[in-house]
Each structure stands twice: as structure tokens, then as C-alpha cells.
Amino acid sequence: MSRRAPTLGVFDSGIGGLTVVRHLRRLLPAWRIVYFGDTARVPYGTKSEATVRRFAGEAARFLTQFDVGHLVVACNTVSAVALRSLTREFHGLPIDGVIEPGAEAAVKATRSGRIGVIGTRATVASRAYEHAITEAARHAAAPRRAAGRRHAAVERLAGAGARVYAHACPLLVPLAEEGMANSKAAREVLREYLEPLRRRRIDTLILGCTHYPPFKASIRSVLGPRVTLIDSGEATARRLARTLRRNGAQRPRGRGSLRCYVSDIPRQFEAIGRRFLGHRLGRVWLVPQDDLPWFERRPIRGRE
């Protein structure tokens, strides 16, 4: 008798989280995945922290009705500003963000200790990657010190002289959704965005937004092949797969499945989703947004 495959809940502000789902389906083929993309309110990266926390809580509450055994926040902005509040609210439900795995992968990859990060304005402003990289470097340096060994790049990142350079790239999201990741326009925009990081002589770049993996070829054409690109979504999927293997949850028999829900324009999600997922999505289900009675709330007076 085969064991029933568990369910994994994944959400993002829009369609970019499908790049994470793509890796999850490859690494955890027997899992059922339920995905929610908040396409009615994308992007999150330009909104306040309070708003992002509220939206994230609503997305997570929607997914919990599917009896998910694990929740993946496939959004760097939410991971940066709302992961702690989600962990408190959904105590007992394992929740993974994309920032810590991306930081750990970058610390392992760097040779010089010069790491660049590109992401949304909210992710960059939070300095979440800087903090996560410093913490990951400390964990990596501790056993080396105990063994009497040193790694200069990791030591620098673990200390006060950590060299992490972050830059916001807001135009990349619309370019990705328009299918223009490998266009001349994208390369021109990337040259402008990446020039400050190139001048810093980074040897590792974290793609700190799930919309950014389609730009890998264009980024390499700007920075050159010697800069290692870290896909935070792929790093998250790999770490989750390792965790589930250790817990014995990776061996259900049978084929997994993917069911996608969005808060607006499902047909557009279906059309664009193939570029992010690598194959057809099938039917995408619409979740009406009539559960947000903003007009019934008392207005809050702003500052004069």
C-alpha cells in the first residue's frame, strides 16, 4: 500500500514563485503542491512592511485550508519583512523563506568575500541579505576555527568588514513578465543596474527576487562568466529537499501534482507561467478578492 503524498504550500506576490516550484517539482516529484500568486496586488516590493505582512498573512491563511504540511514563502520581499510574523501566527507549521538558503549558498560560493545582491526596493532596504550572509558566514567559520583552519573570504564576511553590496532593480519584474529577459532592452537595463556591483569587483551575485532567474544569460553577458550566480529559489528548494530527506518525508510513492490559484487574471498567469515553470500550467483557479472590505474600515488620519 503506497503512502499518500504530502502537500506543500507555496506563495508569492505573483508569478515569479513558479521558478521555485520548478526546482521543487524536480527535487520532490511525489509531493502535491498548491500555489497561490497574489496577482491582484503584485508587486509587493514597492509596498510598506505593514502592508506586506498583512498580504502575506492572508496568503498563508488561504493555503492552510489545503492541509499543507510545509509552507514555502517564494517571495524575497515577504521573506525579508514578514517571515517572523508568519512563523508566530502559524506556530507549528514549518515555514521556509528564500533569503537564508540564498545567503548560505553565496557564502559557500564566494572566493573573495565580495557578494552582490539584486532585488526589489523593499528587500534591499530591509538589509535582510546582509544580516543573513553575516550569520551564515559565522556558522561556516566556527567549525573551521575549531579545526585550526581559516577561509579568508568567510572570515571577512563573518566579521565587521563584511563586503555585501545590494542594489534594487525594479524594472526587471515587468521585463520578465513580458518575456523580455534576453532582449536588448533587458541587457541595457542590466548594464545600468549592475555597473555599481561590477565596480565593486564582486565574484558572487545573489538573484534576490524570484523573477530574476530568467535573466541569468543576460546577467552573465554583463558581468562575465567568473561571477557565480546564486538562484535563491533553487537554494531554497535544495535545502528543503535535504530537510525532508532527513525527516523521512521524501519517499511517498506515485506522482505529485501542481494546482495554482491566483487573485486576478488567471489566463495571463497561464500564458506567462510556462516561461517560469518550463512547461504548461494547465488550469489556473481564480480566488475572488471580495474578502477585503477596505471600505468598511475607519480611515486613519495621515501625517500633515
Share of residues in the chain with pLDDT > 70 (%): 84
Q: Express each pLDDT in 204-215 by its tens digit.
A: 999 999 999 999
The answer to whether 86 touches 29, Cβ cutoff 8 Å, is: no
Helix, strand, coil in percent for the chain, rounding step 5: 50, 15, 35
Closest CA to 35 of 56, 12, 4: 12
Mind listing the pLDDT tens digit for each residue in 23-38? 999 999 989 999 999 9
**Domains of the chain listed by start with CATH number:** 7-98+235-296 (3.40.50.1860), 100-232 (3.40.50.1860)
Contact 12, 213 (CB under 8 A): no
Q: What value does the mean pLDDT take over residues 218-229?
A: 96
**Annotated catalytic, 75?**
yes
Catalytic residue among 60, 164, 209, 230: 209
Confidence of residue 179 (pLDDT cuts 50, 70, 90): confident
Catalytic residue of the set 21, 75, 190, 205: 75
For the segment 237-274, what is each residue's pLDDT rounded down to a tens digit? 999 999 988 876 645 667 889 999 998 889 889 988 88
Q: Please state, in angstroms and rounded to a whole number, the distance separating the CA atoms of residues 199 and 204.
A: 13
- Provide the pLDDT confidence category of residue 304 given band limits of 50, 70 and 90: very low
What is the per-residue pLDDT for 249?
A: 60
pLDDT for the residue numbered 229: 98
Sign of the four-CA dihedral 247, 26, 31, 232: positive
- The 10 Å CB-count burial string (b at 16+, else e) for 253-291 is eeebebbbbbbbebeebbebbebbbeeebeebeebeeee
pLDDT of residue 302: 44
Compute the mean pLDDT over every residue in the chain, rounded to the nearest whole number: 86
pLDDT digits (tens, 9 = 90+) for 110-145: 999 999 999 999 999 999 999 999 999 988 876 555
8-state DSSP, 140? H
Q: How much is the pLDDT for 163?
A: 86
Please give the distance of CA 245 from its chain centroid, rounded to a whole number. Answer: 21
